[in-house]
Amino acid sequence: MRRSIVNDPENLVPEALEGLVLSNPLQLELHEQHRFVTRRERARNKVGLVSGGGSGHEPLHAGFVGAGMLDVAVAGAVFASPTALQVLEATKAADAGRGVVQIVKNYTGDVLNFRIAGEISGDDEIATEMVLVDDDLATDTGDEAGPGRRGTAATVIVEKLCGAAAEAGASLEEVADIGRRAASRARTMSLALSAGTHPGDDEPQFTLGDDEVELGVGIHGERAPERVPFTDADGLVELLVDPLRTELDLRRGEEVLAIVNGLGGTYPLELQLAYRALHHRLADSGISIVRRLVGSYVTSLDMHGISITLMPLGDEFRNLWDAPVRTPALTW
């Protein structure tokens, strides 16, 4: 039986949001009724940024509320979209008079509810633009009639770059364009050694044999397209990075931003080992990692696994990435 540190599972999300705000009292403010978090000191005369989605992926999204990133993050239940009403109220809270960019992971419920909220917010004369993050290479089926690629860890990149542009005074259209271009250039692959378990449940979302790896797993615990044999760290990273390098057509001399992300139950030694393997694998091909994050930023409850995100990094995006940021989960 999987045990969790939890009171009532039904109250897990609001109590956790309260804990986040209580532990960051100078940065964050909680709006209990609609379950969203804002900056304690509201920004003025800038494009607002709102993001959100199901809980269980912390520190995404509320951990990235603050100067240089989001203005508002709205939380649904575990792995469930926030309602259109929640998103509408969060969008209103993000508006500082210059419109609001909605950063949305590509999941049907999130897209639908953010779109509805964006349409309704027009009644309050709030201009909105949606940026859809769809970086998960494992779900790139080429079926234009389907839902498309899932949104995963590239969301952190999009929120950071859009946040920097908004702080610098960019217009609504300019911030949205930066987000869309970043999303189009970033790709992610993930694997899991074991699944996460919903708080209050006795069993994980799926089970694996000791010699099996779920290759291409989703951050909601979605099953992967295939299972592959377990191997060592270098071999596991190779399974992730080689498809990314091919998809992005990375060539000798290119520079990239890389995120080695833990999915919730992966400890730092493993992540550093994975980054080492990634660094050497790319260096052997003449590709340089010039900016990186190594840690757990987009999780899936307590899933034991990693994701790797790569994005070619030119001067424009490099400058936006390097711009100051101060949030509970990301600061420089």
In whole angstroms, give the CA distance from residue 179 to residue 172.
11
Q: Could you tell me the two tokens for 33?
A: 């009724």
Distance, C-alpha 191 to centroid of its chain: 16
- The one-letter code for the residue type at 305 is G
Closest C-alpha to 36, from 81, 103, 90: 90
CB contact at 8 A, 287 and 311: no
Could you list the active site residues? 57, 220
Q: Could you tell me the two tokens for 44?
A: 């003025």
- Residue 108, CA atoms < 13 Å, CB-side half-sphere: 2
Do the strands 48-55 and 100-105 form a parallel or antiparallel pair, or are they unpaired? parallel
Strand order across the beta sheet in which 304-312 lies: 226-229, 212-215, 187-194, 304-312, 255-262, 288-295
Distance, C-alpha 17 to centroid of its chain: 17
Place of tokens 């003449």: 286
Closest C-alpha to 65, from 22, 20, 117: 20
Do the strands 226-229 and 212-215 form a parallel or antiparallel pair, or are they unpaired? antiparallel
Q: Could you tell me the two tokens for 34?
A: 């609609």
In Å, what is the CA distance from 152 to each residue of 28, 106, 190?
24, 8, 9
* Residue 183 host element (H or E): helix 172-185
Closest C-alpha to 296, from 328, 259, 325: 259
DSSP character for 34? Answer: T
